[in-house]
Amino acid sequence: MSINAFNPTPRTLMGPGPSDVHPQVLQALSKPTIGHLDPQFVAMMDEVKALIQYAFQTENPFTIAVSAPGSAGMETCFVNLVEPGDKVIVCRNGVFGERMRQNVVRVGGEAILVEDSWGAPVSVDKVAAALAAHPDAKFLAFVHAETSTGACSDAKALCALAQQHDVLSIVDAVTSLGGVELRVDEWGIDAIYSGSQKCLSCVPGLSPVSFSAKAVAKLEARQTPVPSWFLDQTLVMGYWAGDGKRSYHHTAPVNSLYALHESLRLLQNEGLENAWARHRAMHEQLKAGLTELGLEFVVEEQYRLPQLNTVYIPQGIDDAKVRTDLLNNFNLEIGAGLGDLAGKAWRIGLMGYAARQENVLLCLAALKQAIK
């Protein structure tokens, strides 16, 4: 069996992630690999930490990049913080809320579901009622930006409720980080995770995570060991400590961290608020064009994520054929529906480096031809 070198045809990535990676990030990715305990690398890791703190708008000393994709970032929060028997209020309005529930169950926690329909945001009122009904709850877990639907929930209001009821908040910011307003310290978020491959425009494979002092205290007070060795943050903290000691835990994904460093640097140079505004502006253009094409949004206007536009597939249109046409004729990837929306909707991403004028124009022109 002879296997040739892989030379992918470049694509424009306007699905739910991975998104277009900035050329400078790909360039950083392929810089020479050095040791994960090399002083040069350790100094770069300190910068990565500072840059993640900036992106999250937090001063949490416990701020790291988990050496695996966003799903592992989610698991990092649950396996470290939730102990067997802990009651967790889990908000489910799409695929990722359900995944949170599964994480709670697997660590032996008790999940209290707050349900909202697909495409709707998490209901602040329902969460308030659930917190009142379960005074023994220890956590409130919800998804800020539901990647399966494109709905944005009011993280600020939900975290304020969590603080009132003295429960810790666990927030999924995989699709929100860098694309919409997110302020970890100001909003009082206790545990948050994201992914490298959405609005940060980095390659997939890393998950920025941050814990508040209260979350760290909960971790340190655990009665049972963290069930995962790989994700045990009591061990990983030694490596990210920034005290110059860097005790070995596992081999860091060196080159992927070069890429994350560069992508976060690009975000800092642009400025967070500017990045949010750019996503919003590109969304407005795309929305105007999609509406002109007669496509209807799944999510009500006020809850729409600018970086993830979910529209119903028009009657009589062959979902798979359109997506294949876009890919084969225009090298353009848009996302299929997921879960309840499979076969019913498309998810059009405008994430990070993909949120630019030329992508909006290409997408609208190509879609117009494909659905003719």
Site for its own copies in 67-106 (CB under 8 A): 67-72, 74-75, 79, 99, 102-103, 105-106
- Min. distance of Cβ 282 from its own copies in angstroms? 19
Please report whether residue 20 would count as binding its own copies according to CB under 8 A: yes
Please report whether residue 17 would count as binding its own copies according to CB under 8 A: yes
- Min. distance of Cβ 135 from its own copies in angstroms? 28
Applying the rule CB under 8 A, the residues between 173 and 202 that interact with its own copies are 195, 197
- The answer to whether the annotation marks 183 as part of a ligand binding site is no
Please report whether residue 261 would count as binding its own copies according to CB under 8 A: yes
- Min. distance of Cβ 251 from its own copies in angstroms? 5
From residue 40, give the alpha-carbon distance in Å to each of 21, 45, 120, 173. 25, 9, 46, 30
Residue closer to its own copies, measured from CB, 34 or 124: 34
Applying the rule CB under 8 A, the residues between 103 and 162 that interact with its own copies are 103, 105-107
Which residue type sits at 100?
Answer: M
Residue closer to its own copies, measured from CB, 131 or 171: 171
C-alpha closest to that of 310 among 340, 278, 349: 349
Q: How many residues form the binding site for its own copies (CB under 8 A)?
A: 79
Q: Which of 143, 155, 226, 350 is in the footprint of its own copies by CB under 8 A? A: 226
Instruction: Measure the CA–CA gap between 333 and 2, rounded to whole angstroms.
Output: 29
Please report whether residue 320 would count as binding its own copies according to CB under 8 A: no
C-alpha closest to that of 141 among 117, 109, 169: 169
Residue closer to its own copies, measured from CB, 15 or 97: 15
Residue closer to its own copies, measured from CB, 131 or 170: 170
Q: Which of 42, 124, 254, 362 is in the footprint of its own copies by CB under 8 A? A: 254
- Min. distance of Cβ 346 from its own copies in angstroms? 14
Q: Is 186 left (phi over 0), alpha (psi -120 to 50) or beta?
A: alpha
Please report whether residue 8 would count as binding its own copies according to CB under 8 A: yes
Helix 95-106 and helix 70-81, axial crossing angle in degrees, nearest 10: 40
Is the CB of residue 83 less than 8 Å from the CB of residue 220? no
Q: In sequence order, what are the residues at sequence separation of 6 or more whose Cβ sits closer than 8 angstroms to the Cβ of residue 193?
A: 66, 70, 73, 74, 76, 77, 171, 172, 173, 174, 207, 208, 209
Applying the rule CB under 8 A, the residues between 204 and 223 that interact with its own copies are 204-205
Could you say which DSSP state residue 10 is in?
Answer: P
Please report whether residue 33 would count as binding its own copies according to CB under 8 A: yes
DSSP of 280-336:
HHHHHHHHHHHHHTT--BSS-GGGBBTTEEEEEPPTT--HHHHHHHHHHHH-EEEEE
Please report whether residue 248 would count as binding its own copies according to CB under 8 A: yes
